[in-house]
């Protein structure tokens, strides 16, 4: 049993999404490993297994299911941040989120509601 940290966000150095993982949830997130995610292929099962092993975590099906669910939500809702901290591992090896934080991209949320004006005339450069 223990506490973990997992998040998805965008990183300007990698110019794309990253996953951050730590075996220490709560205040231990400063030691989180950060791994880029390929924009074309996304988060693949073999890559997540490798990341978990590099972080010192056992890639159980329950843990991978939680992380993939968070990744799907991050992508589908076009989030800037999706974070679970802490993610508790229970005695039966299942997981439950102790707290979560999401940041939505306001530009994406309002993209469909912006009015477009049809102006008469020509535009010259």
Domains of the chain by start residue, with CATH = 2-113 (3.30.470.20)
Flag whether pLDDT at 123 surpasses 70: no
> Which sign, positive or negative, has the C-alpha torsion 10, 16, 19, 20?
negative
The string of pLDDT tens digits covering residues 100-118 is 999 998 876 555 555 555 6
**Beta carbons of 22 and 5 less than 8 angstroms apart:** yes
Which of 39-53, 66-80, 95-109 has the lowest average pLDDT? 95-109
Out of 24-33, 60-69, 95-104, least confident range: 24-33
pLDDT in tens, 12-38: 999 999 999 998 877 767 788 999 999
For position 105, what pLDDT does the model report? 85
Q: Are 90 and 4 in contact (CB under 8 A)?
A: no
pLDDT band at 99 (very low <50, low <70, confident <90, very high): very high
């Amino acid at each position: 049993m223990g506490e973990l940290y997992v998040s998805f966000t965008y990183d300007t150095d990698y110019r794309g999404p990253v996953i951050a993982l730590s075996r220490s949830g709560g205040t231990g997130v400063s030691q989180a490993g950060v791994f880029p995610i390929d924009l074309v292929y996304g988060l693949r099962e073999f890559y997540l297994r490798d990341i978990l092993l590099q972080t010192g975590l056992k890639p159980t099906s329950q843990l991978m299911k939680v992380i993939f669910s968070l990744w799907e939500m991050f992508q589908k809702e076009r989030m800037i941040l999706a974070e679970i901290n802490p993610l508790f591992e229970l005695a039966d090896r299942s997981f439950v989120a102790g707290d979560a934080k999401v940041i939505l991209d306001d530009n994406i949320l309002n993209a469909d509601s912006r009015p477009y004006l049809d102006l008469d005339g020509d535009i010259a450069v």
